[in-house]
Amino acid sequence: MFLGAPQTVQAVGSLTPQAVDATAAVQWGYADGRFAQIVCSFEANSPYQGLVTGTEGQLSVAGVMLPNPQQLTITTASGVEVIDIPSTGNGYGHEVAEVERCLAAGLTESPFIPLDDTIGILDTLDEARRQLGVRYDYAGE
């Protein structure tokens, strides 16, 4: 939602004995020099926070990012704004509400996250999993 599909994906990490990604550090690169870094782990204690920085400020998510972040802090040259985020259940409350809204409106996809965006996200994650050595065996393959 912030940067679009990356041009490059670099992933390193470790797998469990069952070949599940236990730890992953992923960097996405963009032709204009922007980048994103994502780190996740089952094996390490993490603050589970999110931070987006840019030329005019930053957004940070306080509290456990998933399943329920507690606050969004926006910092710019003008100052700091803190927005409380109401709890929405198990962390997928916003997604469930959007699916319900789309179904009630007769929509086959959300205008907020169109199908092409979802496929792009999955393609990016598939490339990171490929680099890590994670493979899902599906019946019939």
Q: How far apart are CA 82 and CA 60, in angstroms?
A: 10
- pLDDT tens-digit series, residues 18-45: 888 899 999 999 999 999 998 888 888 7
Whole-model pTM: value is 0.76
Annotate 70-100 with b (16+ C-beta within 10 A) or e (fewer). eebeeeeeeeeeeeeeeeeeeeeeeeeeeee
Domain spanning 8-132: which CATH class is it, in words? alpha beta
What pLDDT digit, counting tens, does each position of 52-106 carry?
A: 899 999 999 876 666 677 788 999 999 999 998 876 666 677 788 899 999 999 9
Which spans in the chain are helix H?
Answer: 93-104, 115-132
